């Protein structure tokens, strides 16, 4: 069973996200993380896609490698930015040939350095999902923003667009967040619109305060004052890391209590925080 939709139908999933390494040192770190996380028997892993398609080949290579060399089903990220329909069709063809069955369709980001990119045939992630549905029977996931997409004018509009997108897809994974109420509200508001597809919450343990604050600002995620104050009061980086992992563990427990269909961990290509959360929650390890 390698389609994520089938895995979700069978029960709760636990999954990890990686990004393609940029050099040999990063490759060593990623390989170590994969080896250390494999005993946790993840349901699947996802591999990110750089802004403007900048990691297109590295994403493909890592996804195909994991499909061939591990027992973990991989999910490849795809973005609208800088891609034509013909390019997407070629990418999907290569994945199908390699036996990859899952893809996450995203709007994507422009390169932060202002690098010029080719025009795209897509405007919104819904355009990409619609095209994917016409050319493949792969399992398709999409992204959800519990606190609303940063480009949405208001939450009601965001939820209507999210429900329409998710109706065409098989499931969603969320941007990271720090308070369970945001996730519960998202799921309830989608249900009010008639959309009950699985929405897997994304978890980002805070192991570096300034780094996660920057990421939260970029994604439109609120970094709550109680968490900032708790972490800022720590005396050492290790104290910050430990407190951040504890906060993420509490959030995971609350999400499981709220009947979330799974947990998706943003690992930052490291294994320690995820392994510690697994241990604290008593999740099975092979």
Between residues 20 and 139, the one the model is more confident about: 139
| Domain membership flag for residue 57 | yes
Q: What is the CATH number of the domain that holds 241?
A: 3.20.20.220
User: Distance between CA 141 and CA 125 in Å, rounded?
Assistant: 11
Q: What is the pLDDT of residue 56?
A: 73
Q: Cα-flanking dihedrals φ and ψ of residue 25, to 5°?
A: -65, -45
Within-domain flag for 286: no
User: Domain residues for 183?
Assistant: 4-281
Residue 166 belongs to some domain of the structure = yes
222 catalytic, yes or no? no
Tens-digit pLDDT profile for residues 131-181: 999 999 999 999 999 999 888 899 999 999 999 999 999 999 999 999 999
Give the pLDDT score at 163.
Answer: 97
Does the CA dihedral 15-20-212-235 come out positive or negative?
A: positive
pLDDT of residue 2: 87
pLDDT tens-digit profile of 46-91? 999 865 555 678 888 889 988 988 889 999 999 888 889 999 999 9
Burial of 197 from C-beta contacts in 10 A (0-12 / 13-18 / 19+): buried
CA 190 to chain centre: 19
For 169-222, the pLDDT digits (tens) are 999 999 999 999 999 999 999 999 999 999 999 999 999 888 888 888 878 888
Give the mean pLDDT of 110-123: 73
Report the interhelical angle of 85-98 vs 125-135 (nearest 10°): 50
Count of domains in the chain? 1
Mean pLDDT of the residues in the chain: 91
Selected catalytic residue, list 17, 101, 147, 189: 17
User: In this structure, is residue 250 part of a structural domain?
Assistant: yes
């Amino acid at each position: 069973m390698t389609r994520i939709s089938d895995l979700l139908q069978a029960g709760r999933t636990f999954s990890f996200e990686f990004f393609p390494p940029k050099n040999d040192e990063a490759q060593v770190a990623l390989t170590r993380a994969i080896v250390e996380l494999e005993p946790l028997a993840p349901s699947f892993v996802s591999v990110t896609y750089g802004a403007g398609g900048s990691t297109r080949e590295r994403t493909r290579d890592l996804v195909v490698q994991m499909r061939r060399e591990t027992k973990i089903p991989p999910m490849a990220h795809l973005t609208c930015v800088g891609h034509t329909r013909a390019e997407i069709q070629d990418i999907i063809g290569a994945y199908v040939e390699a036996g990859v069955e899952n893809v996450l369709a995203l709007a994507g980001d422009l390169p932060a350095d202002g690098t010029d990119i080719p025009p795209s045939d897509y405007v919104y992630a819904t355009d990409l999902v619609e095209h994917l549905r016409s050319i493949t029977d792969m399992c398709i996931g999409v992204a959800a923003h519990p606190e609303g997409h940063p480009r949405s004018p208001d939450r009601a509009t965001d939820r209507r667009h999210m429900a329409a997108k998710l109706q065409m897809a098989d499931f969603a994974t969320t941007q990271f967040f720090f308070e369970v109420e945001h996730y519960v509200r998202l799921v309830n508001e989608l249900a009010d619109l008639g959309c009950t597809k699985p929405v897997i919450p994304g978890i980002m343990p805070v192991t570096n305060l300034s780094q996660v604050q920057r990421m939260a600002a970029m994604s439109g995620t609120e970094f709550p004052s109680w968490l900032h104050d708790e972490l800022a009061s720590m005396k050492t980086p290790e104290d910050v890391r430990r407190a951040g992992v504890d906060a993420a563990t509490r959030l995971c427990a609350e999400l499981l209590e709220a009947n979330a269909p799974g947990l998706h961990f943003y690992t930052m290509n490291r294994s320690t925080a995820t392994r510690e959360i697994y241990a604290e929650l008593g999740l099975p390890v092979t």
